[in-house]
Chain A
Amino acid sequence: MTLLEVQSLSKRFGGVTAVDGCSLSLDLGSITGLIGPNGSGKTTVFNLITGFLAKDAGDVRFKGQSIAGFGPNRIYGLGIGRTFQLARIFPRLTALENMLVPVRRSGFRALVSRGQWNDERTRAMDMLAAMDIASVAGLLGGSLSYGQRKLLELAAVMMAQPQLVLLDEPAGGVNPALIERIGEHIRELNRQGVTFLLVEHNMPFVMGLCQKIVVLHRGAVLAEGTPADVRGNAAVLDAYLGS
């Protein structure tokens, strides 16, 4: 079943066409990798899907419903979460508070004191423990190491239990041992039913984790298929090494 469908998405910035008729689809429960040389439009596609940029043409459909034009918070409410290329957390809030921000409460209940959110606190602590960062729960986000921030960012995004998570360079900027752990966390969450779309430059990581790879080049899909297919594709090699 198709969870997310991107149809001929286009976006221009002045004279530059960042995304040029990009189409891809994600099946429920899959882990898909989005790769491509620098400047191929990967993060722009992410921003278009998650509502940070307005599209010029095309459509994005989530569970059959068009979400093009929705704001980022509404899209998160529908069940699509994302992380950022440089891990973003709230520096002046504690790690635990970071976990509680995404918890959804609407209307008047939003005013109820968060001292009473025992369920959510427990779930947050459990999630922090699953990521092995429970010890930093009381520390301010700004004092965490970069690796801790990356894990915190992922854990916090998962608090509202999104069905689809877009990860922007989850393996970027961290040591190999942590990369392994992050890969494990992604696999575990996927086993629990979360669909993933990753942008990555770390080829071993992506090839080892994803069932399907989509290659983006100059804003359009150049090739897609299993990791093996893509690895052997001459056009893909050309795009990366330049011709």
Chain B
Amino acid sequence: MRSPSWIRAAKWAALVLVLAVALLFPAFESDPATVNIAVFTVMYVGLATAWNIMGGYTGYVSLGHAAFFGFGAYAFGLVLAHLGIQAGYEPFLFVPIAGVLTVVLALVIGWIALRTRAATFVIVTIAMMFMVQLLAENLVGLTGGGSGLSFPVPPWTGDFFDTPFYYAMLVMAVVSLLLSWWIRRSKFGLGLLAIRDDEDKALAVGVPAHAYKLTAFVISAGLVGMIGAVYGYYVTYIYPQYAIDPLVGISLVLMVFLGGLGTLWGPVLGAVILEPAQLWLAYNFGASLLYLVFYAAVFLVVILLLPRGIIPSVGDLLKRIAARRAVGPSDTASTSDAHTVAGVPSP
């Protein structure tokens, strides 16, 4: 059942090509504005892929992931401050610590939120996000409250400024993709997909749903937290309402839906399409709140036209074309056979 070898070879070639472009991009592109767009795009590739591990594979849609993004940024800033790390390349080594701290937060939030199902879960994640935002605003002694938190300012300047951050984000995106790919292929991933299809049935065949859901949630959050940490360092100053921004949380969800929920490359595709578009809209219309109207319009068009996302829709189209080319009329059995003539074996 494996696809023909030339398709597989083509896929590998495409992958290598994309990776090469991504790696060499800054060497060829000197315009810092473009690199800036690339930083944010790659950031969202990582965020969307990480979110998909929970939302796409298990079907539990979290709209509060912005909490982990902001928490990761704050945790990172505070760790750097406490350990007295100087600006430069050294801080990047401490990003995983922000990830670990975010994982701890996710364990707490996840344990509570996963006591609920489907619709309630979505709402609880939103509520949790606002709680984290409130804490960031009000624990002034720790986070600086409304005045914000500062990061060490990197010594590299000018046109080169964005480049190390681009690579840091790229690393995070690649890590997220690798994890997502690995999980998808594993028994753990199969269990997650089973949970998505029918959680009670999954339990009935031995899938430890609660443990699996919590694990996916925590992995997803940890990755998002680390990306948030890099973001904090990049913007050098964070405020509660911008670090923990519901728009960030909803954007990354929309990207996953656009590309294809639950697929491996869907989030990547969605991020690569939407983030530059979003930045362009913000740049041209950001001053007036009309930017939101256009954004909403894009949103609505995407969801109403392509509810399943690009990759599944394209996949379906290809299958239908292939089926039409096959010999004879379409033979895909799908309806109940409860009334087949007696004596004739049915399946």
Q: Do chains A and B touch in the complex (CB under 8 A)?
A: yes
Residues of A that sit less than 8 Å from B by CB = 50-52, 71-73, 76-77, 81-82, 84, 88-93, 97, 100-105, 109-115, 117, 132-133, 136-138, 141-148, 151, 156-157, 160, 173-178, 181
Closest CB of chain B to A175's CB: distance in Å?
Answer: 5
Tell me whether A148 and B333 are in contact in the complex, defined as CB-CB below 8 angstroms, given that A71-B203, A73-B208, A157-B205 are known contacts.
Answer: yes
Q: Is the C-beta of B92 less than 8 angstroms from some C-beta in chain A?
A: no
Tell whether, in the assembled complex, residue B347 and residue A145 are in contact, meaning their CB atoms are under 8 Å apart: yes
Interface size class, chain B: 35 or more
Q: Assess whether B288 is interfacial by the CB under 8 Å rule.
A: no
- Complex CA distance for A77 and B31, rounded to whole angstroms: 59
Interface of chain B residues 186 through 222 with chain A (CB within 8 A): 186-191, 193-194, 196-198, 200-209
Q: A82 to chain B: which residues have CB within 8 Å?
A: 204
Contacts of B343 in A (CB 8 A): 176-177
B235 to chain A, nearest CB (A): 35
Query: With A and B bound together, what is the CA distance between A97 and B192 in angstroms?
Result: 12
Give the tally of cross-chain contacts (CB within 8 A): 144
B333 touches A175 (CB 8 A): no
CB of B104 to closest CB in A, whole Å: 21
Q: Flag B275-310 by CB within 8 Å of A: 1 or 0 each.
A: 000000000000000000000000000000000000
Q: Which residues of B contact A100 (CB under 8 A)?
A: 187, 190
A104 contacts across to B, CB distance below 8 A: 206
A230 to B63, CA, bound (A): 57
With both beta carbons as reference points, the residue of chain A lying nearest to B59 in the complex is identified as A92
B182 adjacent to chain A (CB < 8 Å): yes
For residue B105, give the distance in angstroms from its CB to the closest CB of chain A. 23
- New A-B contacts (16) at CB < 8 Å, excluding given A132-B347, A147-B337: A72-B204, A73-B206, A73-B207, A92-B193, A97-B193, A101-B190, A111-B183, A114-B186, A114-B190, A138-B1, A144-B334, A145-B346, A147-B346, A175-B340, A175-B346, A177-B345
Question: Given A89-B201, A91-B197, A143-B333, does the pair A174, B206 have CB atoms closer than 8 Å?
Answer: no
Known contacts: A93-B193, A138-B1, A175-B340. The answer to whether A101 contacts B186 by CB under 8 A is no
